[in-house]
Amino acid sequence: MKTPPRTPAPRQAAPVASTRIHFGRVFKAESASYFLLLGTALFLVVFGLVMVLSSSSVDSYLENTGFFGTVLRQGGFALIGVPVMLMISHLPLKFWRRVAWPMLIVACLLQCLVVFTPLGVEVAGNTNWLSVGGVQFQPSEAIKLALVVWLGMILSQKEKRLDDWRHVYIPVFGVGGGAVLLVLIGGDLGTVLIMAGILFGALFFAGVRLRLLAVPLGAGVVLAVLMALTSTNRMTRILSFMGAGCEDLDGPISAPCWQPLHGTWALANGGIFGVGLGNSKAKWSWLPAADNDYIFAIVGEELGLIGAIVVLFMFILLAFAFLRIMRTSTSLQARVSTAAVLVWLIGQAFVNIGVVLGVFPVLGVPLPLVSAGGTALLTTLGAIGIVLSFTRGDHAEPPRRAAMSTDTSGARQ
């Protein structure tokens, strides 16, 4: 009698191996640049929430929103912005090529609603806010984000013709300059300066010769001077920066010298080690925009020189992460867009801190990732998410596939 053939038992190792591969793909190790940029950004967001809580508690209470009104609103935007940043970081490079034009067109249309319709809201002399259904936001921040993507796309298409002024001036200063002009019509000169820096920074890092940038740079300087001279509000800020009208130290809070003067006093009060977190005196209605444009003064007062240096170091670390990603980028589009974000965030931080220190006149730009402001936080995190996506998708062939091709070529030999 023949014994029936035995059916081999199924192997149990295969599911384990496949499971290991599956989780390896989900939790695969990112590059060091990815974690450096992500960690620095998250640190600044958390640090910003702490400082917004401290600097806004008094004003929030006076506005009948409780001590935590402003920070809860800012925290809500952070809870939205961080997951969106992480989702954006998974998008491929070709996606940004496709959406560059739609992003810029939509952002410019929203800005047109600000400057050409009654939906625009004027704040501190600048018409830069759009109010829809009781919700206010700044389309100019969306234009910054759109310019980052659009400049990377358009300059990568013009890569071999950047020596021809027509392929530089017409698209960049024709289309991109038109978007900046829409913001300038609203009167927000501080934001316009940051956006102009984005344009020139993208061109510089794309390899455009400096002689081609001299003419538009000179025209931009002349335009900025004319805008300053034709505005009473801006001239008052400039004259107060130069010391005019600052003789009366007990003037009203609306006096042009009040904010920069009390910002300086807040920094001086902090000393080296600060007065302690939450113990600021300037936030007790002595310093306007303490949780926004002048939050660095509260940092210096409560955390002292040491806290201010930590903030400066984190922005230096952020710049280093951007430069490292630019150095390892294999496409001009990724390199230009990363450079645009670098100029945007680091340049804006430099201007904000310079205003608080008295190096520049009051320009009204927030400290990225730290100051209160939902639109600014969302767009900033979105820009960082775009750069993070370049660290994922802007690489050469994966090592394993390259090794397999080497083995195959060796076997053929």
pLDDT in tens, 345-356: 999 999 999 999
Q: Can you tell me the distance from the alpha carbon of 189 to that of 229, in angstroms, rounded to the nearest whole number?
A: 12
Q: Does residue 321 carry a pLDDT above 90?
A: yes
Give me the pLDDT at residue 401, please. 41
- Cα–Cα dist 312/356, whole Å: 13
pTM confidence score: 0.86
- Secondary structure percentages of the chain, helix, strand, coil, to 5: 70, 5, 25
pLDDT at 407 over 80: no
Residue range 54-82: mean pLDDT, rounded: 92
DSSP class of 247: -
- Sequence-distant (6+) residues with CB within 8 A of 358 are 241, 260, 263, 264
**Which is higher by pLDDT, 143 or 242?**
143
CB contact set of 299 (below 8 Å; sequence gap of 6+)? 51, 307, 308, 311, 370
DSSP string, 393-406: HS--S-HHHHHHHH
Share of the chain above pLDDT 70, in %: 84
- Tens digit of each residue's pLDDT (9 = 90 or more) over 188-241: 888 999 999 999 999 999 988 888 888 888 888 888 888 877 777 778 777 777
Q: pLDDT (tens digit, 9 = 90+) per residue, 249-301?
A: 566 665 678 888 889 999 999 999 999 999 999 999 899 999 999 999 999 99
**Is 31 in a helix, a strand, or coil?**
coil
Name the residue among 45, 21, 35 with its Cα closest to residue 89.
35
- In which order are the strands placed within the sheet that holds 135-137? 120-123, 126-132, 135-137
pLDDT digits (tens, 9 = 90+) for 146-162: 999 999 999 999 988 88
256-260: long-range pairs with CB below 8 Å, 24+: 258/288, 259/287, 259/288, 259/289, 259/294, 259/362, 260/355, 260/358, 260/362
Helices 69-88, 32-62: crossing angle, 10 deg rounding: 160
What gap in Å lies between CA 213 and CA 226, rounded to an integer? 20
Residues 6+ apart with CB under 8 A from 25: none
Q: What is the pLDDT of residue 28?
A: 56
What's the Rg (C-alpha) of the chain?
25
